[in-house]
Amino acid sequence: MTDITEHALLMPDARTKARNAAERRFRAYGLSAIVIALAALVWLLISIFSAGLPAFQQTFITFPVTLEAATLDKSGKLDIEEMKKVTTIGYGKLIAQAFEAEIAAKGITHEVKPKQLAEMISEQAGAQLRDMVLADPALVGQTITFQALANGRIDGYFKGRVTMETAARDKNTSPEKLALADQLRDAGVVAVKFNTGFLTMSDASDKRPEAAGLGVAIIGSLYMVVIVLFLALPIGVAASVYLEEFAPKNYWTDLIEVNIANLAAVPSIVYGILGLAIFINFAGLPQSAPIVGGLVLTLMTLPRIIIPTRAALKAVPPSIRDAALGVGASKLQTVTHHVLPLAMPGILTGTIIGLAQALGETAPLLLIGMVAFVKDFPGLPPEGLFSPSSALPVQIYNWTQRGDPGFVERASGAIIVLLVFLILMNTAAIILRRKYERRW
């Protein structure tokens, strides 16, 4: 028996070692590329969620308010038109008095000047109370428990955005107010609760981030997605059916195909310019309206629906068509009775993904004026489609342009809402595909 461990065949030589090392390095490059890509995804999501989740919580100040008939309803007739003459400032004074009384009643000592006490409550509180009273005039004269939004800085303090140090440099708040807020929380007057208003209220002005909500934006986005669905799905399916099933192979249909492929890759902002030039300047449709947004997004989504629809139609085997034609169906009957139903899961999957892209699109909507500040909810369709509205992604952009840091939290929170919608839509698409997809 000779000792074979020294044999050259079993000992890798220097060159083999180098090659194997190169092999391991190459694998490591690939693996690290994947790790980088996934880490970027995780970093993105963590940064958005950590900044945005606080938007779903809001600081509320709860205290009894006496709705004095003497100030709110001077005529004493509970006449709505008369009562509307009392402005939000009038209600604000009432709230300020009640707040001061509540602090005194709880026996809290503080260093905030009496005049500045009301600044701890959101400027929105007056409007909030006014709407409550106008909706139910019978409340006048009673003492109600009123839940007011706290000022954005107080809210930021409980969420860690505002600290004693920043407050000292901030002319909108002061450390004394924050100290009082702490005391009030211990007394149970101030509490951080789930914020339904974030989903239902409309946008608020620059100084009151605490009152800004997504209500108008959600409705606007909903209107637009519905318009896109009702226009892009039928037109897209009709175009795909023609190109895939009927069109002769010639110069013209080739042109249409190249066209569609290119339209899918045209930058979305170009569609915005198109919408501005055609729908607003030429056709005279109103700016900021969901109908214009819907039409622009339809044109943009159309090629993105046609491409997967054609793939779905192509996947239906020719034998199905031959069988239908063989028993005497016309070409159109073959398509509508057999090919389309079989291709439907694929078509719907493509449509949902196209709609999800349309929902998240911002740039074209900026150009057609949807960036405007919209406070009023749009009406019901069809008139509501023509009144000014916002959209989720544009609302996010809008909030990033505001000065108050509270709006960054709002924008990130709005992104979470947008992502939840997108996840729901994509999950529906995946389920649809898993459940109904057929392999021939």
Partner 1 sequence: MSLGLLFLILLALCTAGYMIARSRAVTSARGDTRVLHSLPAFHGRFAALAMILPAVAILIVWLVVESFALRGVALSHLSPEDVPDGASMDLVMADVTRIAEGLGKLQAAGVDLAPLTADPAALKARFSEAGFAQGGDPTPHTIAAAVSMRDTAATSRLALSVVAIAASLAGLGLVLRRITPEFRARNATEFVSMGLLIGASLIAVLTTVGIVASLASETIRFFQLYPAWDFFFSADWNPKFGGGSSLGIWPLIWGTLYVSVIALLVAVPVGLFSAVYLAEYASKRTRGIVKPLIEILAGIPTIVYGLFALVTVGPLLRDWIAIPMGFGNSSSSVMTAGLVMGIMVIPFVSSLSDDIINAVPQSLRDGSLGLGATPSETIRQVVLPAALPGIVGAVLLAASRAIGETMIVVLGAGAAAQLSLNPFEAMTTVTVKIVSQLTGDTEFNSPETLVAFALGLTLFVLTLMLNIIALIIVRKYREQYE
Q: Is 10 helix (H, G, I), strand (E, B) or coil?
A: coil
d(CA 141, CA 108): 27
Q: Is 143 helix (H, G, I), strand (E, B) or coil?
A: strand
| Per CB under 8 A, 328 contacts partner 1 | no
What token pair was written down for 246?
Answer: 């009927």
DSSP assigned state of 373? -
Q: C-beta of 357: minimal distance to partner 1 in Å?
A: 8
Q: C-beta of 326: minimal distance to partner 1 in Å?
A: 17
Options 181, 241, 291, 374; binder of partner 1; rule CB under 8 A: 241
Site for partner 1 in 210-239 (CB under 8 A): 234-236, 238-239
Q: C-beta of 51: minimal distance to partner 1 in Å?
A: 6
Could you tell me which stretch among 143-151, 177-185, 188-196, 241-249 binds partner 1 (CB under 8 A)?
A: 241-249
Whichever of 158 and 279 has its CB closer to partner 1, that residue is: 279
Options 134, 243, 320, 344; binder of partner 1; rule CB under 8 A: 243
Say how many C-beta atoms besides its own lie within 10 A of residue 173's C-beta: 22
Q: 61: part of which helix (H) or strand (E)?
A: strand 57-66
| Per CB under 8 A, 408 contacts partner 1 | yes
Residues found in the chain: 440
Beta-sheet strand order (sheet of 143-149):
143-149, 57-66, 190-194
d(CA 389, CA 223): 10
Whichever of 148 and 355 has its CB closer to partner 1, that residue is: 355
Q: C-beta of 438: minimal distance to partner 1 in Å?
A: 20
Could you tell me which stretch among 58-66, 82-90, 153-161, 253-261 binds partner 1 (CB under 8 A)?
A: 253-261
CA-CA-CA-CA dihedral for 200, 201, 207, 210, to nearest 10:
-40
d(CA 367, CA 386): 17
| Per CB under 8 A, 418 contacts partner 1 | yes
Site for partner 1 in 329-348 (CB under 8 A): 330-332
d(CA 195, CA 199): 8
Say how many C-beta atoms besides its own lie within 10 A of residue 343's C-beta: 25
Q: C-beta of 271: minimal distance to partner 1 in Å?
A: 8
Q: C-beta of 437: minimal distance to partner 1 in Å?
A: 15
Options 22, 323, 424, 431; binder of partner 1; rule CB under 8 A: 22
| Per CB under 8 A, 168 contacts partner 1 | no
Q: C-beta of 125: minimal distance to partner 1 in Å?
A: 23
Q: Which amino acid, residue 168?
A: A
Q: C-beta of 332: minimal distance to partner 1 in Å?
A: 5
Whichever of 164 and 261 has its CB closer to partner 1, that residue is: 261
Scan for tokens 């449509």, then name that residue. Answer: 351
Q: C-beta of 251: minimal distance to partner 1 in Å?
A: 13
Give the number of residues in contact with partner 1, rule: CB under 8 A. 89
Site for partner 1 in 36-55 (CB under 8 A): 36-38, 40-41, 43-44, 47-48, 51
CB 384 within 8 A of CB 378: yes
Whichever of 4 and 34 has its CB closer to partner 1, that residue is: 34
Q: 193: part of which helix (H) or strand (E)?
A: strand 190-194
Whichever of 178 and 385 has its CB closer to partner 1, that residue is: 385
Could you tell me which stretch among 101-109, 113-121, 338-346, 413-421 binds partner 1 (CB under 8 A)?
A: 413-421
| Per CB under 8 A, 192 contacts partner 1 | no
Whichever of 163 and 281 has its CB closer to partner 1, that residue is: 281
Say how many C-beta atoms besides its own lie within 10 A of residue 15's C-beta: 8
Mark 254-276 as b/e (b = at least 16 C-beta within 10 Å).
eeeeeebeebbeeebeebbebbb
Q: C-beta of 52: minimal distance to partner 1 in Å?
A: 9
| Per CB under 8 A, 299 contacts partner 1 | yes
Strand stretches in 68-156, DSSP E = 143-149
Contact string 268-297 vs partner 1 (x = CB under 8 A): xxxxxxx-xxx--x-xx-------------
| Per CB under 8 A, 427 contacts partner 1 | no
Site for partner 1 in 365-404 (CB under 8 A): 366-367, 369, 371, 382, 393, 396-397, 400
Options 8, 9, 14, 34; binder of partner 1; rule CB under 8 A: 34
Site for partner 1 in 79-108 (CB under 8 A): none
What token pair was written down for 102?
Answer: 């509540």
CA separation, residue 130 to residues 86, 93, 115, 139, 336 (Å): 8, 12, 22, 11, 57
d(CA 111, CA 104): 13
Q: Which residues 6+ apart lie within 8 Å of 362 measured at CB?
A: 393, 394, 396, 397
